Amino acid sequence: MNKVKFDLEVYTFQIDIVGHLSNIVYIEWMEIGRLKLLDAIGFPVTELTNKDIFPVLVNTNITYKQPIFYGDKVRAEVWISKLNAASAIMEFRFIKNNGTLAATGYQKGLFITGSTGKPYRIPREDRVFYEKYLLEVNY
């Protein structure tokens, strides 16, 4: 199982009135992670959309464990925890500074065919690429 790992910066405009990272930024970071995951799998979002295939979200969940502040260094990890015929659950971890787990989360995404709006099933021959980033768990 592989994880996509990447570093993130905390900017002053991302800090909320309480003085820590705004909740919406985690969702933005998850978007970055999903795009990086699709790139790593070998199906960048531009390639998918050119084929009339669109990844859409149906669920987002975040658990905040420790606040992130301006100046913190953040490492993100993303992988697939469940792969269905037309959908997947992606897991996220946000780790600050020297290994402190700041937040965890998951998103359920669904592939749809743009012209019909119906689910797009991942072809069997393409599943092997997704499976490289799969660590399956039961929900």
Domain encompassing residue 39? 4-131
Q: Is residue 121 part of a domain?
A: yes
Domain total for the chain? 1
Q: Is residue 43 part of a domain?
A: yes
Give the model confidence (pLDDT) of 12-49 as tens digits.
999 999 999 999 999 999 999 999 999 999 999 999 99
Q: Which residues, in sequence order, are bridge partners of residue 35? A: none
**8: phi then psi, degrees, rounded to nearest 5:** -130, 150
Question: pTM of the entire structure?
Answer: 0.93
Average pLDDT over residues 56-66: 97
Give the model confidence (pLDDT) of 93-126 as tens digits.
999 998 999 999 999 999 999 999 999 999 999 9
pLDDT at 138: 54
Residue-level length of the chain: 139
